[in-house]
Amino acid sequence: MQIVLAIGIFSALALLIGIGLALASRYFHVEGDPLADKVDDLLPQTQCGQCGYPGCRPYANAVASHEAEVNHCVPGGERTMLEIADIMGVEPKAIEEEETAPVVAYIREDECIGCTLCIKACPVDCIIGAPKQYHTIITDHCTGCTLCLEPCPVDCIEMVETPELLEHWSWPVPGTLRAQVGEERKYQHEE
């Protein structure tokens, strides 16, 4: 008799919890993939496609579903890679491509023929222009993805390094090579 009672109690409990969980999964359902959202938040949003995916969001989805490795985001650099590895709970992997200095695209306007092909290619809508008018790049919004270089039929777009701004300057790590930059500048100045 007692064993029947015990089985009955636990069956009822299991049923109740099951119903509770079923309801919770329905009413607290989250749209989209929260893990992919987290990864997407860490990515630099350059939309450059260097990872082999058409943009940052698709790469984030691929990483979240373990389809892609964590080390394909070149512009994000090591810091982004480490952060993604941390939230994905996987071993960090070195990025194969070398990190480059930040660049922005620049259109040599004399050579531009106004074909609008680069405008269509820009993933962040930062090229302005109209058919048969010069195009130009809104430098402040350019992510340096280089996607506009390839479609240009006259090769009038180049990537230029962004100048280091005084207000964005920050102290280097103490005791490193970069800490001597000031000294180097001094010699440049003296020359």
Partner 1 sequence: MKSNVIKLVQNIAESLHLKPQHSFAGGVHPKQFKRTAHEMIVDCPLPPVLIQPIKQHIGELCEPIVQVGERVLRGQKIAKSQGYLCAPVHASSSGTVIKIDDHIIPHPSGMGLLSIFIEPDGKDEVDESLHPLPNYRSVDAIELRERVRKAGLAGLGGAAFPTFVKLVQDQQHPIETVILNGIECEPWLTNDDQLMVEKAHEIIGGLDIIMHMVEANQAIIAIEDNKPMAIESMQQTLLGMGLEESVRVEVLPTKYPQGGEKQLVEVLTGKEIPAGRLPIHIGVLSQNVGTSKAIYDAVCLGEALTDRIVTVSGDALPQPMNMRVRLGTPIRFILEQCGLEYLDDIKVIHGGPMMGELLSSVDVPVVKASNGVLAMHKYSVMQAHHEEEPCIRCGDCGDVCPAGLIPNLLAMHCKEEKFDRAEDYKLFDCIECGACSYVCPSHIPLVHYFRFGKGQVAQIRREKDFAEESRVRSEARDARIAKELAEKEEKRRVALERKEARAKAAAEAAATNTISEKPQEPDVVVKTDKPEAES
Amino acid at site 99 = E
Q: Cα-flanking dihedrals φ and ψ of residue 5, to 5°?
A: -60, -45
Tokens at 98, concatenated: 């070398």
What is the chain's alpha carbon radius of gyration, rounded to the nearest angstrom?
A: 26
Smallest separation (angstroms) from partner 1 to the CB of 117: 15
Q: Is 34 in the site for partner 1 (CB under 8 A)?
A: no
Residue 3 or residue 165: which is nearer to partner 1 going by CB?
Answer: 165
Which of 66, 93, 108, 186 is in the footprint of partner 1 by CB under 8 A? Answer: 186
Smallest separation (angstroms) from partner 1 to the CB of 145: 9
Strands 157-161 and 136-137: unpaired
Residue 7 or residue 130: which is nearer to partner 1 going by CB?
Answer: 130
DSSP 8-state class, residue 55:
S
Smallest separation (angstroms) from partner 1 to the CB of 100: 15
* Cα(13)–Cα(20) distance, integer angstroms: 10
* Cα(186)–Cα(5) distance, integer angstroms: 88
Q: Is 168 in the site for partner 1 (CB under 8 A)?
A: yes
Residues that bind partner 1 (CB under 8 A): 40, 43-47, 55-56, 79, 123-126, 141, 143, 164, 166, 168-175, 181-183, 185-186, 189-190
